A and B are shown apart, each in its own frame.
Chain A
Amino acid sequence: MITEKIPIQTNEDLFVHAYETAFPKVASFVKKMGGSFEEAKDIFQDALVIYYEKRSDPEKPGQHDPSNYIKGIARHLWYKRYRENKNQTSLSNLPDLKAQEEELQVSENLLRFVELSGKKCLELLRAFYYDKLNMKTIAGKFGFSGERSATTQKFKCLEKVRDTLKERSLTKEDFYD
């Protein structure tokens, strides 16, 4: 297992490493179950997203070999999607990516509008809320003088997104019924 020995610094490094160590395992499993390359790819990529999002959880998979963890998620997704085996409960607390998307009550048009009106803000918000970078790292990455300044800007950006959503809610076509 080479997983713990490689210093992973960027998302690209992380994904290349995951492809090299976990994708062959997922591919072998999917093939064994009668699946195709495209199905293995879809399952693997969704498993990788879930792994990425759970990295900073207190019960994170970091202590274990990530390739086995990703394979475990992939198996779960496979049974869920292609076999509808409701008895698979070992990883049942994993997030359902599609169900989570449905909680968002805004349209793709509005998403694009918010993105166009403040890409830098969204990248800053992504760094904090999704990538879970600490404020010191964020300050360095986005060129702020310090953590305090980065924190202030983060809240300003959040308020900008929030106010934009609220204002645009007046034009109903941007929202689902």
Chain B
Amino acid sequence: MTETRDLEHYLLNNYGPEDQLLMQAKLLLSKELREKAYWQKQSYLLIRHYSRNKLKAEIEAVHNKMFSEKKFESFRKKIVSIFKTNL
């Protein structure tokens, strides 16, 4: 787990310049570590992709609520008045 934590500090730029350089040196010397760093970076991208999809679904659910529930009627009227010809 220490190695994963160290890679995280490096990949997310949480290290200071000295530690960042030290990790770069370790990466140069170890193919195994380089591979781990690559897949860890892909993992962060995957987490963001997953999270963003979930967030978009949450926003869409709120959108549907705003345009269907009675308590948001005045909001709807406001939007309808903006798009009178489009809706």
Contacts and interface: CB of A to CB of B under 8 A. Distances in A.
A129 B45 contact: no
Contacts of A135: none
Interface stretch (A16-24, A60-68, A71-79, A81-89): A16-24
B43 to A, nearest CB: 5
A105 B40 contact: no
B36 interface: yes
Given A162-B36, A162-B40, A165-B43, A126 B51 contact: yes
Contacts of B40: 158, 162
Interface in B37-87: 39-40, 42-52, 54-56, 58-63, 65-66, 75, 78-79, 82-83, 86-87
B42 A106 contact: yes
28 contacts: A12-B58, A15-B58, A16-B62, A23-B66, A23-B79, A27-B82, A36-B86, A37-B83, A45-B56, A48-B59, A49-B56, A97-B52, A104-B45, A106-B42, A106-B46, A111-B49, A126-B47, A126-B50, A126-B51, A130-B47, A155-B8, A156-B1, A158-B40, A162-B36, A162-B43, A166-B35, A166-B39, A169-B39
